[in-house]
Amino acid sequence: MKILVGYKRVVDYNVRIQVKPDGTGVVTDGVKLSANPFDDIALEEALRLREKGVAEEVVLVGIGPADLTAHLRNGLAMGANRAIHVVTTDAVQPLTAARVFQKLIDKEQPGLVILGKQAIDDDANQTGQMLAALWDRPQATFASKVEIADGKATVTREVDAGLEVIDAELPAVITTDLRLNEPRFIKLPDIMKAKSKPIDTIELGSLGVEANDHLKTTHYAAPAKRSKGVMVKDAAELVAALKQKGLL
Amino acid sequence: MSKILVIAEHLGGKLNPSTARAVSAAAAVKPEAIDVLVLADSVDAIAADAAKIEGVSRVLTVARAENAHPLAAVLAPQIAKAAAGYSHVLAPSTTFGKDVLPRVAALLGVAQVSDVMSVEGAHTFKRPIYAGNAIITVEADPTATLVATIRTASWPAATTSANSAPIEALTLDVALPSHTRFVELQSGKSDRPDLQSASKVVSGGRGVGSKENFDIIYKFADKIGAAVGASRAAVDAGYVPSDLQVGQTGKIIAPELYMAIGISGAIQHLTGIKDAGTIVAINKDGEAPIFEIADIGLVGDLFKLIPELEQAIS
Ligand SMILES: Cc1cc2nc3c(=O)[nH]c(=O)nc-3n(C[C@H](O)[C@H](O)[C@H](O)COP(=O)(O)OP(=O)(O)OC[C@H]3O[C@@H](n4cnc5c(N)ncnc54)[C@H](O)[C@@H]3O)c2cc1C
Ligand SMILES: Nc1ncnc2c1ncn2[C@@H]1O[C@H](COP(=O)(O)O)[C@@H](O)[C@H]1O
C-alpha cells in the first residue's frame, strides 16, 4: 500500500504572531517556518505503518511556492520515500488543496491519505473532510489511534464526548490529532540520504485545478486584549474577590 | 433574503446546547427563516427540543437507522441534499460540526468559513486564525451557498422557552455509503457540569503532578459546582481523559469563571479561554505567562492553596 501525507509549511508554533499595523496581513518576513505540527504527526504515523509492513511507500505532498523544497527535504530526512511538490505562488485554500490531493490520488492510487486535522496558520480544519467527499471515501478525523487490518482502518477519534471508534474501509482519509504519536527527530546521516530522494515538481495549473480565492480576506486585526488584572495575597482574599463578583 | 439551515447536534437523544448557539449566529444574519435539521434514528425528543429555540421557523427531521451515530460520510450527502433552496448552512464548531460540515461544503462545491465569531453581513464574517492571535474579516461569494461553522464560545445560546416551531418530516432520496461504520463511543460520563456549557470551570495542568493528585481538582470543582478542564500537558501525561482538554486543539469555552491551576498559560491554552468572564490563575511561579491575562492571580503552591480556598469558602 502507498500512503500520501500532507506536509504543509507554516509559521512555527512558537512564534508570537504580529498583525501588521495596516491590517493587510500578519508579519511573516524573517519569521521561522516549520512543518505544520499535525503533519509531522501524519508523517510519523505513515512511517510507522511502513515499518510494520502495512505500507510500502510514503509519499509527501506539499503545495506551495518554489522554496518549499527545503521543507520537503526535512520530511524526506524523517523517512518519506519521495515527495510531490505542487508549485503555486498563490495562497491555497482548503477546497483548492483538497482538489489538488484528489488529482494526485487519481495518479498515485494510494490506499491511505493522512493529513493533519488542521493547519495552525489558517486553523481551517477542512481539507481532509473535503478530500474524502470529493473522493467519495471514508474519513476518520481527529485520530488518536489507528489500526489497519483486513482492508480497513479502525480509528479512535478524539471527539467532544470522549473517544469514538469507527471502522473505515480503505482507501480512506485520516486526519491526525496531537496524541496519535510523537514524531521522531531527524538524524544527521538521514539529512544526507534525503538529498538523493526524488521530489516531483508539478505546476498547480497543469493539474487542471485553479487556485481560487473562494474566501477573500479583507482585513486582519489583533485580537481584543484582556487587561492585566490584580494579584491577591492569599486564599481568603481570592474568595472575597470572587464573592464580591458574585462568582461564588 | 437569506434562508438558513442549521444542523442540529445531539447525543443520546438530547439536543446539544451548541445548536442554540448556532441559531443565535443565524439570527445575526437577519434571515427570512431559520430551519433546524435533525438527522437521527429517533428524532422526536430532539426535534421537540429544537422547536423551542427562539427564532427557529421550522424543524425538519430525517429519521433513518443509518443516522444513529454521527458519521460524516453518512450525514453529509443528506445535508447537501436538504440544503437546496437555502442561502446558508450552519453548524456549531464542535467536533461534530468540524467533522461533517466541510464534507457538505465539498459536496456543494463551495468553501467553508470556519469558526465564525461575528456576522458583519450576510456573506461577511470575522474568524480567528493563528490560534486566535489574529482575527480576519472574510467575504464569501454571495452567489454561492454559504457554509460555515459557528465558534460557540462567541455566541450566547438562543433562549428555549417561548417558541414552538412546527416539526416536519423530510424524505431525502439519497443513497448512503456503508464504507464507514460506528464501533463505539468511550465517554467518561460524569455527573459534573458539562465543560462546554458550564458557567464555572476549574482546570488543572501539569503542575497537578499525577492522576491521583487530580482528585484535588475534582473535589474543589464539585465544591463550587464547576466543570473540570485541563491543559494539554495534563491530558498527555494521562492525568485526565482527552475530552477535558481546553485550548486551540481542545475545547474553546466561555464560562463566567475560569480557574487555571498549575497551568503556565501557553498561547495554545489561552486560545481556549479568551472569552471567559473572569480568569483566576493559581501558580507557584509568579512569572508564569498566565498572570499576564488573569483577572485575579494568586502565587503559591496549589496543594496548600486549594485546601485553604475550600476552608475560606465554607
Ligand atoms: C499545535 C499545538 C496545539 C496545542 N494545543 C493545546 C491545547 O489545545 N491546549 C493546551 O492546554 N495546550 C496545547 N498545546 C500545548 C501548549 O503549548 C503547552 O505545552 C501546554 O498548554 C502546557 O500545559 P501546562 O501549562 O499544564 O504545563 P506547563 O507549561 O509545564 O506548566 C505547568 C505549570 O504548573 C506550575 N506548577 C507546578 N507545580 C505547581 C504547584 N505545586 N502549585 C502551583 N503551580 C505549580 C508551574 O509553575 C507551571 O507554570 C498545544 C501545542 C501545540 C504545538
Ligand atoms: N498547502 C498545503 N500543502 C500540503 N498539505 C496541505 C496544504 N493545505 C492543507 N494541507 C493538509 O490539510 C491539512 C488541514 O489543513 P486545513 O484544512 O487548512 O486546516 C493540513 O494539516 C495538511 O495535511
Residue B267 main-chain phi, psi, to 5 deg: -55, -35
pLDDT tens for B127-165 read 999 999 999 999 999 999 999 999 999 999 999 888 999
pLDDT tens for B229-259 read 999 999 999 999 999 999 998 999 999 999 9
pLDDT value, residue B188:
74
Pair A129, B72: CB distance under 8 Å: yes
A91 close contact with B: CB closer than 8 A: no
Contact: B308, A234; criterion CB under 8 Å: yes
Measured CA to CA, the distance from residue B241 to residue A28 in angstroms comes to 36
Measured CA to CA, the distance from residue B299 to residue B313 in angstroms comes to 19
Whole-number Å distance, alpha carbon A120 to ligand 2 midpoint, is 9
pLDDT value, residue A213:
79
Contact: B106, A95; criterion CB under 8 Å: yes
pLDDT tens for A7-58 read 999 999 999 999 999 999 999 999 999 999 999 999 999 999 999 999 999 9
Pair B283, B262: CB distance under 8 Å: yes
Buried b (16+ CB within 10 A) or exposed e, B49-60: bbbbbbbbebbb
How many CB atoms lie under 10 A from the CB of residue B85? 9
Q: What is the ipTM of this complex?
A: 0.96
How high is the mean pLDDT of chain B? 96
Of A18, A35, A57, the closest CA to residue A183 belongs to: A35
* Shortest Cα–Cα distance, B27 to chain A (Å): 22
pLDDT tens for A93-152 read 999 999 999 999 999 999 999 999 999 999 999 999 999 999 999 999 999 999 999 999
pLDDT tens for B261-287 read 999 999 999 999 999 999 999 999 999
pLDDT value, residue B190:
79
Q: Which residues pair with B11 in a beta bridge?
A: B14
Largest CA distance in chain A: 68
pLDDT tens for A170-199 read 999 999 999 999 999 999 999 999 999 999
- Distances in whole angstroms, Cα of residue B285 to Cα of each of B203, B214, B299: 17, 19, 7
- Is the distance from the beta carbon of residue B252 to the nearest atom of ligand 1 less than 6 Å? no
pLDDT value, residue B264:
98
Measured CA to CA, the distance from residue B229 to residue B184 in angstroms comes to 23
> What residue has cell string 481523559?
B241
Of A115, A162, A111, A118, the closest CA to residue A140 belongs to: A115
For every residue of A173-208, DSSP letters joined together read EEEE-GGG--PPPPPHHHHHHHTTS-EEEEEGGGGT
Residue A49 main-chain phi, psi, to 5 deg: -65, -35
